[in-house]
Structure 1
Amino acid sequence: MQTKPNDVLLLAGKVLTVLMQCFMAIAALAIPIGAAVVVFMSDTINAEIAAEFSGAVGPLPVIPVLGLFALALAAVALIFLFFGRLRAIIETVGEGDPFAPENAERLSFMAWLLLLVQALSIPIAGLALIVAKWTEPMENADVTVDAGIDLVGITMVVVLFILARVFKHGAAMREDLEGTV
């Protein structure tokens, strides 16, 4: 079943995946810059904080902040890969071959990627809590951390693993059918 080359949904999917990968690439460039600023400017940052808050706020927690940057960069890389695999699936759908065996592998890989992102959210939340606690003495600092179980993310991981099996089974059925004709 061949889809129309101007299928609006497929075009929207392609545009969305490219945009998301562009956003992730920008984030992947910005995160190391932020980390470098923290490393090279921490003395200046600490001096300004001490001057503004009269010593009520301790020094910038550099290690937890750098840990946040590192984990965020890992999450950004995983999400970049996720959208790359999704774009490849969209391409095969546009070509009229959604049950290609590669798509089952792509879906499974996407599930693992999202599972890793879910796992990264645990240490990210822990480090964010350390930074949020550090900001408590600051006036007008409103830092909150939304830590908890992401049921939508976990559900998405399960759905992707199930879809990977469906696509694998569909590809096998198509091969069997082609072999009997």
Structure 2
Amino acid sequence: MIMTLAKDDLLLKLGKVIALILQALCVVGGGIFLFLIVFVMLLSQGLLPGPVDANSLPDVTRFPLLSAGIGVTVMANFAAMFVFFGKMRLLIASASQGDPFIPDNARRLNAMAWLLLASQVLTVIVGELRVYGFSLIDPQSKSTLDISPTDLAGFLIVLVLFILARVFRHGAAMREDLEGTV
């Protein structure tokens, strides 16, 4: 007997709302960083008239390409997470319909794992760029990228998602076999 999830499952409804909110925040965050990149580039070139000048943000405008690189990397992270939460919403919608063990969900989980891995790598890149920026601003600083065990949790979740994708793929195959024998 195959059990189906309740269509009115509170956790699934909450997950759907949270994923939608997080997608919206990714759009807002990406937009803010796009604005900041343009602002820094214009400011560093002296193209912004008015009360704001390059002297008001000397560290950022001394290294505009580094600042833009950090901004673009953060925007790429927001884009990856936007797609991640979109896949999560599709996964939740499928589970809400009572049939989560389908090949599409296995593919979604696999894509989510790759997207989260990309996000984790982009986060490390941003950290390294910031450390490099601090060394440019103050060559005497001994700034380093500190990684703690809790920072590795994201990579562990990536592993869990890859494993879940395989479980879902296997579950979908078993279900197809079962339906073929009935």
Structure 2 runs not aligned, ≥5 long: 47-51
Change (3 A) 1:155 1:109: same
Deviation per residue, 1:120-139 (Å, 9 max, x gap) = 123211211133345659xx
Change (3 A) 1:58 1:173: closer
* Aligned residues: CA RMSD: 2.3
Whether 2:47 is the aligned partner of 1:26: answer no
Q: Using the TM superposition, name which of 95-104 and 145-154 deviates more.
A: 145-154
**Partner in structure 1 of residue 167 of structure 2:** 166
**Partner in structure 1 of residue 121 of structure 2:** 119
**Partner in structure 2 of residue 48 of structure 1:** 56
| TM-score (structure 1 length as normaliser) | 0.84
Q: Determine the C-alpha separation between the residues in 2 that align with 1:69 and 1:58.
A: 12
| TM-score (structure 2 length as normaliser) | 0.83
Deviation per residue, 1:69-122 (Å, 9 max, x gap) = 000000000000000001100001100010011000000001111111122123
Q: Which amino acid aligns with 1:159?
A: V
SS in 1 for 2:100: coil
**Partner in structure 2 of residue 148 of structure 1:** 147
Q: Using the TM superposition, name which of 103-112 and 37-46 deviates more.
A: 37-46
Q: 4+ residue runs of structure 1 moved beyond 2 angstroms?
A: 1-6, 42-50, 57-60, 130-137, 144-150
Percent of pairs identical after alignment?
38
SS in 1 for 2:62: coil
**Partner in structure 1 of residue 107 of structure 2:** 105
Q: 8 Å contact 2:40–2:61 — kept in the other structure?
A: no
Say which of 35, 38, 41 aligns to 2:37: 35
**Partner in structure 1 of residue 93 of structure 2:** 91
Q: Determine the C-alpha separation between the residues in 1 that align with 2:30 and 2:19.
A: 16
Change (3 A) 1:180 1:59: closer
Q: How many residues align?
A: 169
Q: 8 Å contact 1:28–1:73 — kept in the other structure?
A: yes
Change (3 A) 1:58 1:95: closer
After TM superposition, list the pairs within 5 Å mapping 1:71-82 onto structure 2.
71-82=73-84
Q: Determine the C-alpha separation between the residues in 2 that align with 1:165 and 1:58.
A: 45
Q: Which amino acid aligns with 2:165?
A: A
Deviation per residue, 1:34-72 (Å, 9 max, x gap) = 00110111245432356xxxxxx7953111110000000
SS in 2 for 1:98: coil
Change (3 A) 1:95 1:40: same
Shift of 1:145: 7.4
Q: Determine the C-alpha separation between the residues in 2 that align with 1:4 and 1:13.
A: 14
